[in-house]
Amino acid sequence: MSFDATWFRCPNCFENLSAIDDLSIGCANGHRFDVSRQGTVTLLPPRTPKTVGDTREMLDARRDVLDTGLFGPIADAVVEAADTGGLRLSGEPARVADLGCGTGYYAARVADAVPLSTFLAADRSPIAVRVATRDLPRATGVVLDLWQPLPLRDDIADVVLNVFAPRHPSEFARILRPRGRLIVVVPTARHLRELRAAGELLEIPEGKAERVVDQFDGAGLTLFERTPVEYRPEADATVRAQLAGMGPSAHHAGALAGRTTGDNGAPQPLTVSVDVLVFVFGRSGSSS
């Protein structure tokens, strides 16, 4: 088990948490939290809405898509952005927090490039946290709610990853170290537009990327880099169904594979548009 309590503060009183024994952590005010044998902990504040994160079926579909390499160029851009701060050159262990980690795919790619890093895999879905920590070396896992004050200490992360996940700008700014980097991946309205035209995915509003920049600017985070990642891979019927089933649109999935067929009735590959923006933010006044 890999577990590092120094990431955390108490979700109840915001005092720092520390190890009580091998399977529990606590704060000076007596709040205690159990650590699983897999190295994960649930740190939800009182009266947290009973939302449910990604299901096993959604995560399985996402892993299958990611295993095809379909989003490999996005991962390449995330790795490049993570090294903006010179992580591979510093020789010092970096602390990387993946907020909304899902399967941990993007953090694992960063781990391959920056092997000295230690990781936090954070998600609302307990299943996602278990999956991500299983595949990440030196990873601590936490179930949390990204919409709430985060149970993470101030100035704790050198790199924060937020890939296709909810965003909490003021909290991201609080946990980021002064020379740290926040990497945010946001789909444009053109992303997977072929599946949206077929009614398989929810629409992405125009101008979403600009609103994201404004939100982080309001939280004191400056945009250092904006990298478009655009390409048009082929996706067969199976991959298209998995794309529809791996995210919030999962309940709409099912019909696309049968709609795109050739003269012999066999499903035909469809070219899809992958179109995202990779943003790198840092604290205002810090150099890039």
Strands (E) across the chain are located at 18-21, 24-26, 32-34, 40-42, 95-99, 118-123, 139-143, 157-163, 176-187, 221-231, 234-235, 270-271, 274-283
Instruction: Using pLDDT thresholds of 50, 70 and 90, give the confidence band for residue 92.
Output: low
The residue to which tokens 């149970």 are assigned: 151
Convert the pLDDT of each residue in 32-63 to its tens digit.
999 998 889 999 988 877 776 788 899 999 99
CATH number of 5-259+271-283: 3.40.50.150
pLDDT of residue 250: 53
Q: Kindly list the domain boundaries of the chain, sorted by start residue.
A: 5-259+271-283
pLDDT of residue 147: 93
Q: Mean pLDDT lowest for which of 75-89, 105-119, 131-145?
A: 75-89
> Could you give the percent of the chain with pLDDT greater than 70?
87
CB 240 within 8 A of CB 270: yes
Query: What mean pLDDT is predicted for residues 159-170?
Result: 96
The whole-angstrom separation of Cα 78 and Cα 89 is 17
More confident residue, 34 or 201: 34
Query: What mean pLDDT is predicted for residues 129-135?
Result: 93
pLDDT greater than 90 at residue 85: no
pLDDT greater than 50 at residue 118: yes
Query: What mean pLDDT is predicted for residues 79-86?
Result: 77
Residue 273 vs residues 22, 232, 269: alpha-carbon distances, Å: 47, 5, 13
pLDDT of residue 177: 93
pLDDT of residue 258: 39
pLDDT greater than 80 at residue 242: yes
pLDDT of residue 113: 87
